[in-house]
Amino acid sequence: MKKLFLMKQNYIYIFFLAISSVAFSQTKSVSGTINDAFGQPLPGVNILMKGTSIGTTSDMDGKYIISNLETGEYTLEVSYVGFKTFLKSINLQGSDISLDVVLREDVMSLDDVVITGVANPRSKIESSVSVTTLKPQLIEQSSPRSTSEIFRTIPGIRTESSGGDGNTNISVRGVPISAGGSKYLQLQEDGLPVLLYGDIAFATSDIFLRADQNVARIEAIRGGSASTLSSNSPAGIINFISKTGEVEGGGISTSFGLDYNSFKTDFDYGTPIGDGVAFHVGGFFRQGEGVRDAGYLANKGGQIKLNLTKRFENGYARVYYKFLNDRTAAYMPMPIKVTGTNSNPNWGNIEGFDATTGTQHSPYLTQNNGLDSNGNRRNADVADGMHPISNAIGAEFSFNLENDWKIDNKSRIAFNKGRFIAPFTAAVGTVNDMVAGIAAYNGYDATGATVTNTVTGNVFNNPNGLAQRIMMFDTELENFNNFVNDFKITKKFDKVSLTAGYFTANQNIQMSWLWNVHLTEVNGVDAAPLDVTLADGTKITENGQASYGAAEWGNCCTQKYNASYNINAPYAAITIDANKNLTLDASLRYDNVKVNGSSIGGTQSANLDVNNNGTIEPIEMNVSVVDNANSNPINYDYDYVSYSIGGNYKLNDETAVFARYSSGASGKADRAFTFGQPMTSLGNPKDILDQAELGYKRKFDNAGLFITGFYGKTTEEAGFEATTQNVEKNDYKSIGVEIEGSIKINNFDVRGAVTYTNAEITGTVDGSNIGNTPRRQPDFIYSLIPTYSFGENGNHVIGASIIGNTKSYAQNNNDLVMPGYAYVNMFGKVTITKGLSLSLNVNNLFDTIGITESEEGSIVEGQTNYVRARSISGRSSSLTFAYTF
């Protein structure tokens, strides 16, 4: 019995010993709340035990907890985009730790990790590239009315955002705008190009790109390793990075124009849904006339995007989808009055046509009749404007493997098509001169002709006495499908990181040009088409339409082509952490491009009964048709090698300097052939860009500074420009400096950027213009965005953005000056109650005329001239109600 009692005592002792052991070895936790300097909770903050994979993110109330931590010493690392990284040593021993953290804003985002155009993501202070990060708040404060207007605050980048929501000309650091679009700069969504070429005629990348509430941030890299980390991007990359929903939240907003017809609803929502899975969905819908009064719904459509992310212990996988179907007006160069001299011109409004609000669009010019590329009757709706339709499906993954290996892959297939149709002023002048031109190219004498307003039925009596011949740029974007895949594998050693990658892509370009000529009065609102009746009673127009085809330009522009571009590009990169302060990197890329297809065009014309009334009328006696029986093959290939070498040296934790030299190229797409001619008609299909950079970056407690000096040399081969009917082939060099800075003092925040560029033409085909400044290249471009926060927790904001540039030249001959200008945008936001706000945006407050391009390179001095040019749009105001949750 005693033995049994002793055994029971032993079992009880063992039981309590086990309980005691568990109690003394149980795990601990760290918890708390993350707030900003105003006491507002920050959701989605990354909290990590540095040097481990243990971590979490804060919830909507800024709260976090990391459980199941073994006792010992740790370093808590708290990081969030736009804020300085917080580090704290903690010692977990006897009890749990409660630690609240206040994050301080990083005004220049120099602690943000750069993922665009680099082989190994690093913070800005540690990267040897010039990069700007735009977050939704900063984008909102610059009051953009289109996607392209977002870019105007990026240093080193000049964006001619006067053409509407798309068809934007973009230049970087003096690298020229050779024909249009963004030839040397690539626009990306989530690290992959929207289109493989940025300057496709009438299908520039920004037409297929929309900024909405899906955007988490935009990264813009100028120069640097962009040459080697993507194709056709030697001047830089602008990357739209999407939200992923890993922190629950969303919002909905409704905007409407106060002084113009526009209505738009944006929305987004994302949340974790358990087991490491999160989703995000968002988009917009809109309709309205736009900032220039078209007389009809010129803007109509929307976009929806969604993604699904699965997080694993060693990485993530994501799938996503985008559907875009949007119509926006395309604003072409329009009639503007110029007096004075070429060196000191006065640009102003024509009576009845305001340069900042007028447009050639009209409710009386909504149809473009003619034949399609197969000779069938066709009627195009001018209200379609820029009409992209895109269905894109993508996937990406990133995993850290054993022994410091890492693999990344991004893949996307996009089914793209649409239309581009816009009225372009081919000629402007007195009504008699315009009628004489129409009669002449149809073989008639205009003496004694009668011109009738087709709306009123009366004889033409416009007070300004002017008319314009409209070239209707009407193109069918039939197949712009593309597939892109970018795979890379990285191995990290002690101080060395090696990356090998393979980029493969295919881009289709299938397009038909079906241009016609129209005659209208010069009137900025509701312009009427004009009909012409000769002295003998012969009517040579039909409701203002003067020809079926581009008779104005010798029936040059009726054509179709179908080309496929296949790119294969292996690349490699090395990063060396020479010591704790010095980082060296180098990268190499080889692009091999094969192109095949066919091009059909020329000047074939015929007498055809287009309107099917049984009579061949004068307008039907010279119908331009596609000669489908005779096509020219497109069959060529080209290759090039790109490289980049750079280094970054941290003088201390707040200051760094960097240097880099890069060489890259941008290939030509459809601008390498023209009007049915074989590719060989224009020569080498690639242009080379060599660049050098030297930079300084510094972060302060409440400020930041980024200074980069740059040099660029462009060797450019021939490229066709539709609006001038010219083949451009020039060489250039540029040298300059870009400065970006920000300072925050209590509730005041001022951000600004200025770029000085000294650019020069160094070579041309005929030796002319050498030593001149490239067209549309000002010496200085600048932006300044002051804001002031007030009220409880700074939840009310008022601010402005000032955008400007100095004078530039209309064309390479450097005769006609386009004056410098600056315009002011205002922004105000009031928080009504938690989550609900009201915002007022005023763009171009003082209704400034700002000329961004001119088709004419000179004027006749001492008299009134009428040129074709584009100005920035005038004052427009919008109101937005937004609710975030």
Q: How confident is the model at residue 110 (pLDDT cuts 50, 70, 90)?
A: low
Q: pLDDT tens across 232-268, in order?
A: 999 999 999 999 998 889 999 999 999 999 999 999 9
Is 768 exposed, middle or buried, given 0-12, 13-18 or 19+ CB atoms closer than 10 A?
A: exposed
Is 466 exposed, middle or buried, given 0-12, 13-18 or 19+ CB atoms closer than 10 A?
A: buried
Phi, psi of 525 (to 5 degrees): -135, 125
Q: What residues does 318 pair with on adjacent strands?
A: 309, 396
Per-residue pLDDT, 725: 58
Enter the pTM of the model. 0.88
More confident residue, 51 or 440: 440
Kindly report the length of the chain: 885
- Range with the poorest average pLDDT among 82-91, 448-457, 530-539, 659-668: 82-91
Q: pLDDT tens across 177-218, in order?
A: 777 788 899 999 999 999 999 999 999 999 999 999 999 999
Contacts of 751 (CB under 8 A, 6+ apart): 107, 138, 153, 741, 742, 784, 785, 786
Per-residue pLDDT, 1: 42
For residue 270, give the 3-state DSSP assignment: strand
Residue 754 pLDDT greater than 90, yes or no: yes
Per-residue pLDDT, 3: 44
Closest to 262 (Cα-Cα) out of 843, 803, 829: 843
Return the structure tokens found at 170: 């973009």
614: left (phi over 0), alpha (psi -120 to 50) or beta: left
* CA angle (210 as vertex; 206, 212 as ends), nearest 5: 155
Q: Max alpha carbon distance in the chain (Å)? A: 138
Q: Report the 10 Å Cβ neighbour count for 853.
A: 22
The DSSP letter of residue 522 is -
Cα–Cα distance between 630 and 625 in angstroms, integer?
12
The DSSP letter of residue 144 is -
Residue 622 pLDDT greater than 90, yes or no: no
Residue 159 near residue 781 (C-beta atoms within 8 A):
no
More confident residue, 691 or 612: 691
Cα–Cα distance between 692 and 406 in angstroms, integer?
31
Mean local confidence (pLDDT), 416-439: 95
Closest to 361 (Cα-Cα) out of 203, 474, 528: 528
Per-residue pLDDT, 6: 42
Q: What residues does 372 pair with on adjacent strands?
A: none
Residue 568 pLDDT greater than 90, yes or no: yes
Type of residue numbered 619: I
Cα–Cα distance between 110 and 125 in angstroms, integer?
5
* CA angle (235 as vertex; 234, 240 as ends), nearest 5: 100
Per-residue pLDDT, 104: 73
Per-residue pLDDT, 180: 77
Q: How confident is the model at residue 17 (pLDDT cuts 50, 70, 90)?
A: very low
Residue 11 pLDDT greater than 80, yes or no: no
Residue 117 near residue 137 (C-beta atoms within 8 A):
no
How far from chain centre, in Å, is Cα 746? 33
Q: pLDDT tens across 380-415, in order?
A: 999 999 999 999 999 999 999 999 999 999 999 999
Q: Report the 10 Å Cβ neighbour count for 680.
A: 13
More confident residue, 884 or 671: 884
Please give the C-alpha separations between residue 754 and each of 157, 276, 782, 814, in angstroms, as whole numbers. 10, 44, 4, 24
Residue 439 near residue 551 (C-beta atoms within 8 A):
no
Cα–Cα distance between 457 and 451 in angstroms, integer?
10
Cα–Cα distance between 103 and 38 in angstroms, integer?
10
Q: How confident is the model at residue 14 (pLDDT cuts 50, 70, 90)?
A: very low
Type of residue numbered 195: L
Q: What residues does 756 pair with on adjacent strands?
A: 737, 780
Question: Over pLDDT 90: what percentage of the chain?
Answer: 63
Average pLDDT, the chain: 89
Residue 643 near residue 227 (C-beta atoms within 8 A):
yes
Q: How confident is the model at residue 808 (pLDDT cuts 50, 70, 90)?
A: very high
Please give the C-alpha separations between residue 41 and each of 248, 278, 831, 858, in angstroms, as whole numbers. 14, 21, 16, 59
Closest to 45 (Cα-Cα) out of 99, 92, 117, 118: 99
Would you list the DSSP string of 602-648?
Answer: S--EE---TT-SSS--GGGSSEE---TT--EEEEEEEEEEEEEEEEE
Is 434 exposed, middle or buried, given 0-12, 13-18 or 19+ CB atoms closer than 10 A?
A: buried
Residue 24 pLDDT greater than 50, yes or no: no
Residue 250 near residue 269 (C-beta atoms within 8 A):
yes
Residue 2 pLDDT greater than 50, yes or no: no
Is 485 exposed, middle or buried, given 0-12, 13-18 or 19+ CB atoms closer than 10 A?
A: middle
The DSSP letter of residue 769 is T
